[in-house]
């Protein structure tokens, strides 16, 4: 019999009743060190007092009015994002997928308004992930996500991630936009070198194509800059944000330049809940905490510490791990052993991590994790790796 919850997830046999900072607690009191962070969502950990206060204060005042009316919390968050980034304007969504969907619409509308409606092709990259909507799976293009769901939304060209020669061949004035994650998340924590991102920006400029960056996983301070593209010193035309911006409350956003957004006039797009008062009350506080020089400098410092410890872990378990990769507190352990064995052994050692493609174990901790907690997480991963090695003998 089909379960009451549609069985599309392979869930771990764990269930948590409470969260405290970087810890998740089961009903029996067992405490797990959370290096999964809700898949890069809980940027300030669980039950952060300022987020709890913002949400409960707003909950007692007003939950929802719809986008029929002005929403002051939404305007405040849009102002903050515009102030902190390249963007001139913001559209709020409830999820990352919806932001990706709007980016695709916006790129098409941009060329439609320029009397080139046939200029609709978007270059995307193998190993990418842009959500599970019909256009999102077509954009990523992987067989795993698209099989059985055809016919797919047309207009996507797929190139190997980081293949700059293939990009040079494909990018001409028939291309509407190039869309990519500066650090691929689901694809196995694969950062694009800064030089390549710079070259992609220049190549887009040459033919007038829009650059769409999906920073849903790698943005909001995760790499030690507010957004990952800042490392390369370039700016996109459109950027997608979600996950961390709500700190656990569902919230996403599309940020764009005035030029890229020019076709999106009243009635061309909308959302019932997008940018509702509850979500934006939380988003404002997340931005207030994360988008500061001191906070981001501390993320960079902690990232260096964690990476060094993980290099040590990899060196002492060559039969389990092969490599550490990633950027900031978005780190991947490329495994020799099956990544799910490492993750399951981690559950036994009470540390939570996330699988990714290419046999990688992802670490996406809260950005305010402490040094002691990072040391404890690596110690628990060491226990997990030791158990796997014992099983191999
Ligand atoms: N884009 C990227 C890079 C992601 O990592 C994700 C989620 O994992 C999405 C898009 C989709 O976001 P959501 O699951 O919030 O719809």
Query: pLDDT digit string (tens) for 241-290?
Result: 999 999 999 999 999 999 999 999 999 999 999 999 999 999 999 999 99
Give residue 340's pLDDT band: very low, low, confident or very high (50, 70, 90): very high
Q: Is the pLDDT of residue 29 over 90?
A: yes
Tell me whether strands 156-159 and 190-191 are parallel, antiparallel or unpaired: unpaired
CA distances from 295 to 254, 292, 315, 369 (A): 24, 5, 30, 12
pLDDT for position 43: 98
CA 265 to ligand 1 center in whole angstroms = 26
pLDDT for position 254: 99
Using an 8 Å Cβ cutoff, are 229 and 86 in contact? no
pLDDT above 90 coverage of the chain, percent: 99
Q: Is the pLDDT of residue 201 over 90?
A: yes
Q: How far apart are CA 72 and CA 345, in angstroms?
A: 47
Atom 5 of ligand 1 has which residue's CA nearest to it?
217
pLDDT, one tens digit per residue, over 203-235 is: 999 999 999 999 999 999 999 999 999 999 999
CA distances from 91 to 54, 85, 125, 140 (A): 21, 14, 25, 22
Identify the residues whose C-beta falls under 6 Å from ligand 1: 39, 95-97, 100, 129-131, 181, 185-186, 214, 216-217, 242
Atom 10 of ligand 1 has which residue's CA nearest to it?
130
**262-292 exposure pattern, b = at least 16 Cβ within 10 A, e = fewer:** ebbeeeebebebbbbbbbbbbbbbbbebbbe
Q: Is the pLDDT of residue 80 over 80?
A: yes
CA dihedral over 304, 305, 306, 311, signed as positive or negative:
positive
CA 66 to ligand 1 center in whole angstroms = 24
Q: How far apart are CA 4 and CA 74, in angstroms?
A: 35
Atom 1 of ligand 1 has which residue's CA nearest to it?
130
pLDDT above 70 coverage of the chain, percent: 100
CA 293 to ligand 1 center in whole angstroms = 26
Atom of ligand 1 nearest to the CA of 95: 15
Q: Is the pLDDT of residue 21 over 90?
A: yes
Q: Is the pLDDT of residue 391 over 90?
A: no
CA 212 to ligand 1 center in whole angstroms = 14
**Max CA separation in the chain (angstroms):** 67
**Mean pLDDT on 375-393:** 94
CA 29 to ligand 1 center in whole angstroms = 31
pLDDT, one tens digit per residue, over 113-161 is: 999 999 999 999 999 999 999 999 999 999 999 999 999 999 999 999 9
How many other CB atoms are found less than 10 A from the CB of residue 393?
A: 5
Q: How far apart are CA 279 and CA 73, in angstroms?
A: 9
Q: Helix/strand/coil (H, E, C) string of the chain?
A: CCCCCCCCCCCCCCCEEEEEECEEEECCCCEEEECCHHHHCCCCCECCHHHHHHHHHHHCCCCCCCCCCCCHHHHHHHHHHHHHCCCCEEEEECCHHHHHHHHHHHHHHHHHHCCCCCCCEEEEECCCCCCCCHHHHHHHCCHHHHCCCCCCCCCEEEECCCCHHHHHHHCCCCEEEEEECCEECCCCCEECCHHHHHHHHHHHHHHCCEEEEECCCCCCCCCCCCCHHHHHCCCCCEEEECHHHHECECCEEEEECCCCCCCCCCCCCCCCCCCCHHHHHHHHHHHHHHCCHHHHHHHHHHHHHHHHHHHHHHHHCCCCEEEEEEECCEEEEEECCCHHHHHHHHHHCCEECEEECCCEEEECCCCCCCHHHHHHHHHHHHHHHHHHHHHHC
**Mean pLDDT on 88-97:** 98
Using an 8 Å Cβ cutoff, are 362 and 297 in contact? no
> To test ligand 1's pocket by mutation, which of 8, 36, 102, 131 has the most ligand atoms within 8 angstroms of CB?
131
Q: How far apart are CA 390 and CA 296, in angstroms?
A: 40
Atom of ligand 1 nearest to the CA of 218: 3
CA 216 to ligand 1 center in whole angstroms = 6
CA 374 to ligand 1 center in whole angstroms = 25
Q: Is the pLDDT of residue 392 over 90?
A: no
> To test ligand 1's pocket by mutation, which of 40, 216, 253 has the most ligand atoms within 8 angstroms of CB?
216
Atom of ligand 1 nearest to the CA of 131: 11
| pTM to 2 decimal places | 0.98
Atom of ligand 1 nearest to the CA of 100: 10
pLDDT for position 393: 74
pLDDT for position 252: 98
CA 319 to ligand 1 center in whole angstroms = 32
CA 387 to ligand 1 center in whole angstroms = 33
Atom of ligand 1 nearest to the CA of 136: 10
**Mean pLDDT on 320-335:** 98
Q: What is the pLDDT of the chain when averaged over all its residues?
A: 98
> To test ligand 1's pocket by mutation, which of 39, 95, 96, 332 has the most ligand atoms within 8 angstroms of CB?
96
Helical pair 371-392 and 339-348, crossing angle rounded to 10 deg: 120
> To test ligand 1's pocket by mutation, which of 217, 252, 271 has the most ligand atoms within 8 angstroms of CB?
217
CA 96 to ligand 1 center in whole angstroms = 5
Q: Read off φ and ψ for residue 109, nearest 5 degrees.
A: -65, -35
CA 97 to ligand 1 center in whole angstroms = 6
CA 389 to ligand 1 center in whole angstroms = 34
Closest CA to 328 of 362, 377, 354, 353: 362
Atom of ligand 1 nearest to the CA of 39: 8
**Mean pLDDT on 69-88:** 98
Q: CB under 8 Å to 13, separation ≥6 — which residues? A: none
Q: How far apart are CA 343 and CA 349, in angstroms?
A: 10
Beta partners for 240? 214, 254
């Amino acid at each position: 019999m089909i379960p009451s919850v549609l069985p599309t997830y392979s869930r771990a046999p764990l269930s948590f009743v409470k969260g405290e900072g970087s810890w998740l607690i089961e009903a029996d009191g067992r405490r797990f060190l959370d290096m999964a962070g809700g898949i890069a969502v809980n940027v300030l950990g669980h039950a952060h007092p300022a987020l709890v206060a913002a949400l409960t204060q707003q909950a007692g005042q007003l939950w929802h009015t719809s986008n029929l009316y002005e929403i002051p919390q939404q305007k405040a968050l849009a102002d903050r994002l515009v102030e902190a980034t390249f963007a001139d304007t913001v559209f709020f969504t409830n999820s990352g997928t919806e932001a990706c969907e709007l980016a695709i619409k916006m790129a098409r509308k941009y060329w439609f308004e320029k009397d080139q409606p046939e200029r609709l092709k978007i270059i995307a990259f193998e190993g990418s992930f842009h959500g599970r909507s019909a256009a999102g799976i077509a954009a990523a293009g992987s067989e795993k996500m698209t099989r059985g769901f055809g016919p797919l939304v047309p207009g996507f060209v797929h190139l190997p991630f980081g293949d700059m020669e293939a990009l040079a061949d494909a990018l001409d004035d028939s291309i509407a936009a190039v869309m990519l994650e500066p650090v691929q998340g689901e694809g196995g924590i694969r950062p694009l070198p800064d030089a390549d991102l710079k070259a992609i920006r220049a190549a887009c400029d040459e033919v007038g194509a829009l650059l769409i960056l999906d920073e849903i996983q790698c943005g909001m301070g995760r790499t030690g800059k507010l957004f990952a593209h800042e490392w390369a010193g370039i700016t996109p035309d459109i950027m997608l944000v979600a996950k961390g911006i709500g700190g656990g409350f569902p919230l996403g956003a599309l940020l764009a330049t005035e030029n890229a957004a020019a076709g999106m006039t009243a009635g061309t797009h909308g959302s019932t809940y997008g940018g509702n008062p509850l979500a934006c009350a939380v988003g404002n506080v997340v931005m207030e905490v994360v988008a500061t020089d001191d906070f981001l400098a501390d993320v960079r410092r902690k990232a260096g510490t964690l990476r060094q410890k993980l290099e040590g872990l990899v060196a002492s378990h060559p039969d389990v791990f092969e490599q550490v990769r990633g950027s900031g507190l978005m780190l991947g352990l490329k495994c020799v052993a099956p990544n799910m064995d490492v993750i399951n052994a981690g559950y036994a050692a009470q540390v939570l991590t996330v699988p990714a493609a290419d046999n990688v174990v992802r670490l996406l901790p809260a950005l305010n994790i402490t040094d002691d907690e990072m040391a404890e997480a690596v110690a628990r991963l060491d226990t997990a790796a030791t158990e796997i090695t014992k099983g191999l003998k």
